[in-house]
Structure 1
Amino acid sequence: MNPNDLPSPWVLARRAARMNPSVIREILKVTERPGIISFAGGLPAPATFPVAEFAAASAQVLQQDGAAALQYAASEGFPALRERVAALLPWPVDPDQVLITTGSQQGLDLVAKVLLDAGSRVLVETPTYLGALQAFTPMEPQVVGVRSDDGGLNLDDLRAKAAGARFLYLLPNFQNPTGRTMGEARRAALAELAAELRLPIVEDNPYGDLWFDQPPPLPLSARLPDGSLYLGSFSKVLAPGLRLGFLVAPPALYPKLLQAKQAADLHSPGFNQRMAARVLEGDFLERHLPRIRALYRSQRDAMLAALSREMHGLDVQWNSPDGGMFLWARLPRGHSALELLPRAVDAGVAFVPGAAFYADAQDDAAAQRTLRLSFVTATAAQIDTGIAALARAIRATGPRP
């Protein structure tokens, strides 16, 4: 008998059945087709990567500290990088609270492993970051969406749903996918409510440095240092290929997150950490970030202008984010973003249907009409061409009968 004809001997864990491919990653495969203009991926603009600085840092690290850089390292992270992270945060943080992670996505995975059991209740914004849903789902929690508007969470709905929740996960700054930002008054009220309810907050902030006109308000973690866990990333301000992020945890929670990190990968790449620490020395970010902000603001403006021009008469709605990488749009009633996508790809443009970002969007007709557009990896000319193609696809698709 051919062994290949036998039933598979592998039995999957129950959690494995809950793991699903990223909708965004699947769409990105489509964008590899020649001629496709992609507004789908949340990829930083390659022009912002500090290649020369990393070339110099790489040579310095190998020359001065090569053996240590290529050796196993402490799970907590490279001390100089942890100190730099603590110094960059806008509230007092001890470097011993900083854990370097292999991208902020690993931070979400560690949070899920340490804080969630099967059936645990976890609260998220509506909509929320798809990667967080992917990280939480294998732990088999009950993920509950809290109603949200342009200013963030609806606090009355949060109060109604908070009982028994392990934590609230949110992105207050230039949120993925909507681009919205929670204002000062809402943050202050949320911090007060979370303290009253004893509801822990997991605050994810990969986009907070990408503001266009003024920085966002103080993080929630600065207001609730013992009741919040803060996630950050170097992917958007340095380069995603480094796979470096960090979390800031209260002292009571830090040891278990560290143990989960040790079990996952022992430590994040020490060589990369040393390079990042060198690049971040001095006033590098003060010089580097304004260039990123100026570029992304010009691309946002190009997309807003193209939408105003091309979507005239189509009853399509969109927002104007104050920073970040994403713009959120809503199709007219009767339309489906998922059904629009193949027509758009045929027209030469790609986006992410918004329903993927909802904890449960199956029966939500409004969610089915939403889509996320990333404006940072396309040139102004590509934005003009791509938005025109998207408008043609919307006209050709029409509403459902």
Structure 2
Amino acid sequence: MEDLEKILATTENVKLIYVIPDFQNPSGRTWPMERRKQFMEIINKYEIPVLEDNPYGELRFKGEFLPALKSMDTKGLVMYFSTFSKILTPGFRLAWICAAPNIMEKLSLITQAAVLQTSTLNMMVVSKYLDMFDVDKHIEAIRPVYKHRCELMINTMRETFPEKVKFTDPDGGLFTWVEMPEYVNTRDLALKALEKKVAFVPGSGFFPNGGNEHCLRLNYSNSTDEKLVDGVRRLAEVIKESLK
């Protein structure tokens, strides 16, 4: 946070800050409470708008829920974005926003210019679902599913990955972040993994200026137990070959 404050104190070029405090994509990491407080103190001091992207926050399956940055927003600076695609139905790609009225007015105009209008049918279906069913109960039902898949993947990685390979153990969300020795290029590794019918996202694709070629992201959200275990074991074989 010292670096952030130093930047804001020495330049007026920062117009917006984008953050994913909960189960960040691609790392799966979550901001602790102290970091959230420090961040919001800086934001309120310099009055910089923030886009808080929280598509995964409802999918916590370990530990305690932490408050959104928006709940600490005393000046209407935080725009809170979330989505039904991670908690209800991925194909609808339907999101929602909580922001100050003056910001919502501008966002509405931007949305009209960018996409004209979100699918009316999708909005009607989700609205009807919320009227007829308990979405919180549904979320409670899917959390144990993701918890099981995450633990299965992480435990299999611990059993099969070389010690030189490090990875996150998330408390929620859909991803784990894997760090290989720096001499490994995961784009090349991805091609070898595909030969064994295993796919992952190389780390460099998550950074606008490149870098982190030795990292990769794994997703445990939508596979059977058998495919998860088999896929991790196949990937472990590819990794071991690359480290020789």
**Shorter-chain TM-score category?**
over 0.9
Shift of 1:294: 0.6
Instruction: For 1:395 and 1:219, locate their aligned partners in 2 and report how far apart those are by CA, in whole Å.
Output: 40
The reply to whether residue 393 of structure 1 matches residue 235 of structure 2 is: no
Higher relative contact order, structure no. (Cα contacts within 8 Å, ≥ 6 residues apart): 1
Deviation at 1:229, TM superposition (A): 0.9
Deviations 1:101-159 (A, max 9, x none): xxxxxxxxxxxxxxxxxxxxxxxxxxxxxxxxxxxxxxxxxxxxxxxxxxxxxx01212
- What residue is the counterpart of 1:372 in the other structure? 217
Q: Which letter maps to 2:29?
A: R
Shift of 1:270: 2.1
User: Which residue number in structure 1 is paired with residue 91 of structure 2?
Assistant: 241
Distance 1:264 1:172 in 2: 26
- Corresponding residue for residue 299 of structure 1: 149
Report the secondary structure of 1:191's partner residue.
Answer: helix
Q: CA deviation at 1:195?
A: 0.9
Q: Which runs of 5+ in 1 are unaligned?
A: 1-154
1:381 and 2:221 matched: no
Q: Which residue does the alignment assign to 1:90?
A: none
Query: How many angstroms does 1:360 deviate by?
Result: 1.7
Aligned to 1:203: 52
Sequence identity, in percent?
Answer: 30
Task: Using the TM superposition, give the Cα deviation of residue 241 of structure 1 relative to its aligned residue in structure 2, in angstroms.
Answer: 1.7
| Contact 1:209–1:215 (8 Å) recurs in 2 | no
**Counterpart residue number, 1:327:** 176
User: C-alpha displacement at 1:196, in angstroms?
Assistant: 1.0
| CA apart distance, 1:323 | 0.2
Asked if structure 1 preserves the Cα contact closer than 8 Å seen for 2:162 and 2:240, the reply is no
Would the aligned equivalents of 1:244 and 1:273 in 2 still touch at CA under 8 Å?
Answer: yes
* Unpaired segments ≥5 residues, structure 2: none
Q: Deviations over 1:198-242 (max 9, x none)?
A: 221110011111010245311111211511111110101111222
Does the Cα contact within 8 Å between 2:161 and 2:239 map onto a contact in 1?
A: no
Report the AA paired with residue 258 of structure 1: S
Match of 2:193 among 314, 325, 344: 344
Which residue, out of 156, 161, 165, partners 2:2? 156
TM-score under structure 2 normalisation? 0.92
What is the DSSP-based 3-state SS (H/G/I as helix, E as strand, rest coil) of the residue aligned with 2:59?
coil
Output the CA distance in 2 between the equivalents of 1:274 and 1:214: 34
**Which of 285, 289, 296 is residue 139 of structure 2 equivalent to?**
289
Q: Distance in 2 between matches of 1:277 and 1:397?
A: 50
Question: Is 1:183 aligned with 2:29?
Answer: no
Alignment-mate amino acid for residue 319 of structure 1: T
Q: The residue matched to 1:209 in structure 2 has which SS?
A: helix
- Matching residue's letter, 2:151: D
Normalised TM-score (structure 1) = 0.57
> Displacement, 1:184?
0.9
Please state how far the C-alpha of 1:330 moved relative to its aligned partner.
Answer: 0.3
1:255 positional shift = 1.8
Task: Tell me the alpha carbon deviations over residues 283-312 of structure 1, each in whole angstroms, 9 at most, x when there is no partner.
Answer: 612321122111100000100111011114
Q: How far did residue 354 of structure 1 move?
A: 0.8
Cα distance, 1:359 vs structure 2: 2.7
Distance in 2 between residues matched to 1:338 and 1:161, nearest whole Å:
33
1:358 is aligned, of 199, 207, 210, to 207
**1:174 equivalent in structure 2:** 23
Q: Which amino acid aligns with 2:89?
A: A
| Root mean square deviation, CA, Å | 1.6
Q: 1:309 aligns with which of 155, 159, 179?
A: 159
Number of matched residues? 240
Q: Which SS does the other structure have where 2:57 is aligned?
A: coil
Residue 126 of structure 2: aligned partner = 276
Q: CA deviation at 1:379?
A: 1.5
| Deviation sequence 1:346-381 (CA, Å, 0-9, x none) | 1221100111111322xx4xx111110001111221
In structure 1, how many angstroms separate the alpha carbons of the residues matched to 2:131 and 2:83? 17
AA aligned to 1:381 is E
Output aligned runs, 1:98-177, within 5 Å: 155-162=1-8, 163-164=11-12, 165-177=14-26
| Aligned equivalents of 1:239, 1:268: Cα separation in 2 | 15
Q: Bigger shift: 387-396 or 295-304?
A: 387-396
SS in 2 for 1:238: coil
